[in-house]
Structure 1
Amino acid sequence: MTTLIKRIDHGDIRELRLDRAPVNALDPMLCAQLAETIRQAVADGVDGIVLSGGPKVFSAGLDVPFLLTLPDRNALKAAWEQFFLAARELAACPVPVAAALNGHAPAGGCVLALCCDYRVMADGPYRIGLNETRVGLVAPVGIQHLMRRVVGAHRAERLLVSGEMLEAQQALAIGLVDELTDIDSVPARALAWLEELLQLPRKPVLATRAIARADIVEALRPENIELDRFIDAWNDPDTQAGLQALVAKLGK
């Protein structure tokens, strides 16, 4: 089986690097391996995880061209379930996870970042956001909650409705990311944040973190994603038009 996640140990912290060229598009295999490597890292006793991607694209989100080739509703639903499984593993991870956003993070890439504890992004013309409306999709209630808890209800409404993608400096200004650095230093800064956090008393930190992040776990429960409704909308003419336009743009 092709390995799509690189594992790099930094002492008691493990970096999981998305490694599906060219843009780390999230297909079922990559999502399944991400969920498994998170579980394995915890089983191995790591104290923290860095989730990285790149170069220049952390993750381009779901692999839409692949999704459009799937033969039926069941296959499509199974593919989306793998993505949400990976997101839930990040959200429920019992040790802190720092996202190293060394490039663009649209849609599904942004969702993964929002499931992490801390987000370090490359400074420059790199963009992050939930741009679902621009390709004809509606972000589920639970995903919208992830954006609201980070940037506030009013700003989240504006971003979600417009599907706007923010450049790094804008994302920092509204708290969508926590820190900017040059692109080559992003994983190192994410690692440094974790190392500093791990200097604090471990049990109180983990217990406080679990309480503070309980809403993320709740937001990603199946009843807050309503995947069947999401799949029902997939074949809506507006949605299909948006998705086909996206694929045409990617092909240029």
Structure 2
Amino acid sequence: MTGSILSTVIENDIAILTMDDGRANALGFAMIGEINAALDRAENEAKAVLIAGREKRFCAGFDLEVMASGPDNVRKLVTAGAELLMRLYEFRLPVVIACTGHALAAGGLLLLAADSRLGAEGDFKIGLPEVAIGMTMPVFGLELARDRLARNRLTEAVTQARIYAPAEAVAVGYLDETAPLATLIEAAKTRAAALAALSQPAFANTKRKERFLTIKGVRETLNADSETFNGANPS
């Protein structure tokens, strides 16, 4: 299946989703909708999911045009993004990301929601710049960061909005490993195949138990916290 901004192919039981909007792969309503549709398909046809971006661009965050179009649209988009992130975070199939370039704001949160994250080596920026651009981090972003980032790097990564190169992003917890851009996708496919071989439903059940407290905290606060989603780009 090929859309204008997302292509999906099933290869060796792996659903490979490639984002390419011709720009920075922003998460707008259309991209979120296409990813959700691709995940629906993956649940029926695949044993693992691999999400990638275009070369040198993974995802630069929520769509700035929507984020500047008024608080109602901001709340709708950020809530839709939060629901997508939580769907990935508790998805019953393994989710692998091939971070093909810059991953900022909601792009960084996508990394935190995945099971395994491989990043391209190079002069790329990875992180959560919200505070640096005057935005308060939503609870769902804080909780994903609290769960997946190194404890001693959490404050600098979130509250101090530090941005990292890929190698340091491994130490901080955004990535699990790096690879040359030319071999990144193949390495990610190998990782996805290894995870796909794990027993189900043991994988899905254990994943949900492992992440129960984070999921519970996000679900309990999302509606109330959505009232604060009114900035130019909160994630």
TM-score if structure 2 supplies the norm length?
0.89
Partner of 1:52: 52
Larger mean Cα displacement after TM superposition, 119-128 or 141-150? 141-150
Secondary structure in structure 2 of the residue aligned to 1:22: coil
Percent same amino acid among aligned pairs? 22
Mapped to 2, the partners of 1:99 and 1:123 lie a distance apart of 14
Partner of 2:159: 161
The answer to whether residue 71 in structure 2 is matched with residue 73 in structure 1 is yes
The answer to whether residue 202 in structure 2 is matched with residue 204 in structure 1 is yes
1:143-222 map, 5 Å: 143-221=141-219
Q: 1:12 to 1:144 in 2, by over 3 A?
A: same
Give the superposition deviation at 1:67: 2.1
CA RMSD, 1 decimal: 2.1
Partner of 1:128: 126
Structure 2: 5+ residue stretches without partners: none
Partner of 1:102: 100
**Residue type at the aligned position of 2:53:** G
Larger radius of gyration: 1
Partner of 1:9: 10
Q: Is the 8 A contact 1:114 1:146 kept in 2?
A: yes
Give the superposition deviation at 1:222: 5.8
Mapped to 2, the partners of 1:14 and 1:2 lie a distance apart of 15
Mapped to 1, the partners of 2:118 and 2:227 lie a distance apart of 33
Give the superposition deviation at 1:30: 0.8
Larger mean Cα displacement after TM superposition, 53-62 or 193-202? 193-202
Partner of 1:248: none
Give the superposition deviation at 1:216: 4.2
Secondary structure in structure 2 of the residue aligned to 1:176: coil
Deviations 1:83-132 (CA, angstroms, capped at 9, x unpaired): 22221221221111001101010001011111110100001211211110
**Residue type at the aligned position of 1:54:** R
Q: Is the 8 A contact 1:35 1:85 kept in 2?
A: no
Mapped to 1, the partners of 2:171 and 2:154 lie a distance apart of 14
Give the superposition deviation at 1:64: 1.5
Give the superposition deviation at 1:14: 0.5
Mapped to 2, the partners of 1:77 and 1:206 lie a distance apart of 30
Q: 1:2 to 1:197 in 2, by over 3 A?
A: closer
Deviations 1:159-185 (CA, angstroms, capped at 9, x unpaired): 112211100111112332101101122
Q: Is the 8 A contact 1:115 1:216 kept in 2?
A: no
Deviations 1:42-96 (CA, angstroms, capped at 9, x unpaired): 1x2311000111210101111223421x2x4322322222222221221221111
Q: Is the 8 A contact 1:50 1:187 kept in 2?
A: no
Mapped to 2, the partners of 1:216 and 1:102 lie a distance apart of 27
Q: Is the 8 A contact 2:66 2:73 kept in 1?
A: no
More helix by share: 1
Structure 1: 5+ residue stretches without partners: 235-239, 244-252
Instruction: Name which structure has the greater RCO, CA cutoff 8 Å, separation 6+.
Output: 2
